[in-house]
Structure 1
Amino acid sequence: MTQQQEMSVQSVVVPFDRAVPNPLLGRLDVPERWHTVDRSAHDPHLVAVPGGDGTAWTAAALVTARPHTAYLKIVDAVGDVPAAVRAVVGHARERGLAQVKWEGWTATPEAAAAAGFTPLRGPLALSEGAAGPATGYVRWLHDDPVTDSAYDDGRRDPPYYGQSTHFTCGAVTALVAQAHAGALAREALDREAELTLWRGATNFPACEPVGLGVAVRRAWPSSSVTVHLDTDRPVLLDHYPQSEQEWRAVLQRTSRTEAGRTGVPIDPDRLSPTAIREAIGRREHVLLLVSLAAMQGFDVPHWVLCHGVVPGAVVIDDPWANAATGDTWVDAHLLPVPDGSLDTMSSLPTAATASTASAEPVEPAAESFRGAVVIGRRS
Structure 2
Amino acid sequence: MPSSPQEAPAERTVVPFDPGTLPDSLRRLGHRDVLERWQAVDRSAHGAHIVAVGNDRGGDEVHWTGAALVTARPHTAYLKIVDAVGDAPAAVAAVVDHARARACVQVKWEGWTARPEDAAAAGFTALRPPLTDGTGEAVGPASGYVRWLHADPAVTEPPYYRQTTHFSCGAVTALIAQAHAGLLPAESLDRRAELTLWRDATNFPSCEPVGLGVAVRRAWPSSSVVVHLDVDRPVLLDHFPETEQEWRAHLQRMSRADAARIGVPIAAQALPLTGIRSAIERRERVLLLISLAGMQGFDVPHWVLCHGTVHGAVVIEDPWAGTTTGDTWVDAHLLPVADESLATMSAAPPDGFHGAVLIGDGPGPRSAASLPEPTDEEEDGQRP
Distance 1:247 1:127, change over 3 A: farther
Offset at residue 52 of structure 1 (A) = 3.0
Partner residue of 1:315? 315
Amino acid at match of 2:10: V
Give 1:374's match in structure 2, choosing from 350, 358, 361: 358
Q: Write out per-residue CA displacement over residues 180-231 of structure 1, whole angstroms, 9 at most, x where no aligned residue.
A: 0010011111111100000000000000000000000000000000000001
Task: Describe the SS at the equivalent of 1:28.
Answer: coil
For 1:349, the equivalent position in structure 2 comes to 349
1:55 corresponds to = 62
Q: CA RMSD in A?
A: 1.7
The letter for the 2-side match of 1:37 is V
Look up the equivalent residue of 2:100 and give its one-letter code: R
Say if 2:270 and 2:354, in contact at 8 Å, map to a contact too: yes
Which residue identity lines up with residue 15 of structure 2 in the other structure?
A: V
Match among 38, 43, 57 for residue 42 of structure 2 = 38
CA 1:305–1:268: 2 relative to 1, 3 Å: same
SS in 1 for 2:62: coil
Q: Aligned equivalents of 1:302 and 1:2: distance in 2? A: 34
Give me the TM-score of the superposition, normalised by structure 1: 0.90
Would the alpha carbon gap of residues 126 and 339 (structure 1) be closer, same or farther in structure 2, given more than 3 Å must change? farther
The superposition leaves residues 340-369 of structure 1 with CA deviations (integer Å, 9 ceiling, x where unpaired) of: 10011110235xxxxxxxxxxxxxxxx421
Confirm whether residue 89 of structure 1 aligns to residue 73 of structure 2: no
Distance 2:243 2:6 in 1: 62
> What is the CA–CA distance in structure 2 between the aligned matches of 1:4 and 1:160, rounded to whole Å?
30
Distance 1:282 1:127 in 2: 34
Equivalent-residue separation in structure 2 for 1:62 and 1:349 (angstroms): 33
> 1:271-290: CA deviations, max 9, x gaps?
11111000000000000000
2:118 is equivalent to residue 111 of structure 1 = yes
1:27 deviates by 1.4
Q: Which residue of 1 aligns with 2:367?
A: none
Greater mean deviation of Cα atoms: 34-43 or 48-57: 48-57
The alpha carbon displacement at 1:127 in A equals 11
The alignment status of 1:137 with 2:141, answered yes or no, reads no
Tell me if structure 2 keeps the 8 A contact 1:98–1:142.
yes
TM-score between the two structures when normalised by the length of structure 2: 0.89
The residue number in structure 2 matching 1:66 is 73
Contact 1:286–1:374 (CA under 8 A) maintained in structure 2: yes
In structure 2, the partner of 1:358 is none
Which consecutive unaligned segments of at least 5 residues does structure 1 have?
Answer: 148-155, 351-366
Contact 1:174/1:216 (<8 A) preserved: yes
SS at match of 2:18: coil
Distance 2:30 2:260 in 1: 62
- Write the distance in 2 (CA, Å) between the matches of 1:222 and 1:100: 37
Aligned position for 1:241: 241
Choose 122-131 or 58-67, whichever is displaced more. 122-131
Report sequence identity in percent. Answer: 69
After superposition, residues 255-294 of structure 1 pair within 5 angstroms as: 255-294=255-294
CA distance in 1, matches of 2:53, 2:320: 34
The count of aligned residue pairs is: 354
Quote the residue 1:78 is aligned against: 85
Q: Give the C-alpha shift of residue 56 in structure 1.
A: 1.5
In the TM superposition, 1:15-34 aligns within 5 A as: 15-30=16-31, 31=34, 32-34=36-38
Shift of 1:3: 7.4
Counterpart CA distance in 2 for 1:202 and 1:220 is: 17
Partner residue in 1 for 2:169: 169
Partner of 2:203: 203
164 and 26 in structure 1: CA distance in 2 versus 1, 3 angstrom threshold? closer
Paired with 1:26 and 1:49, the residues of 2 have a C-alpha distance of 14
Q: Secondary structure at the match of 1:377?
A: coil
- Of the structure 1 ranges 195-204 and 121-130, higher mean CA displacement relative to structure 2 is found in 121-130
In structure 2, the CA distance between the partners of 1:201 and 1:247, relative to structure 1 (3 Å rule), is: same
CA distance in 1, matches of 2:320, 2:62: 41
Q: Which residue of 1 aligns with 2:128?
A: 121
Residues 257 and 374 (structure 1), Cα distance of their counterparts in 2 relative to 1, 3 Å cut: same
Segments of 5+ residues of structure 2 without an aligned counterpart are 364-384
Q: CA deviation at 1:4?
A: 6.8
Query: Does structure 2 conserve the Cα–Cα contact (< 8 Å) formed by 1:24 and 1:57?
Result: yes
The match for 2:369 is none
SS at match of 1:308: strand
Query: In structure 2, the residue corresponding to 1:14 is in which secondary structure?
Result: strand
Question: Post-superposition shift, 1:264?
Answer: 0.2
Kept after mapping to 2: 8 A contact 1:289/1:304: yes
For 2:23 and 2:343, locate their aligned partners in 1 and report how far apart those are by CA, in whole Å: 38
* C-alpha contact (below 8 Å) 1:104/1:133 kept by paired residues: yes
Match of 2:381?
Answer: none
2:50 alignment partner AA: L
- Aligned twin of 1:152: none
Alignment CA distance shift 1:282-1:127 (3 Å): farther
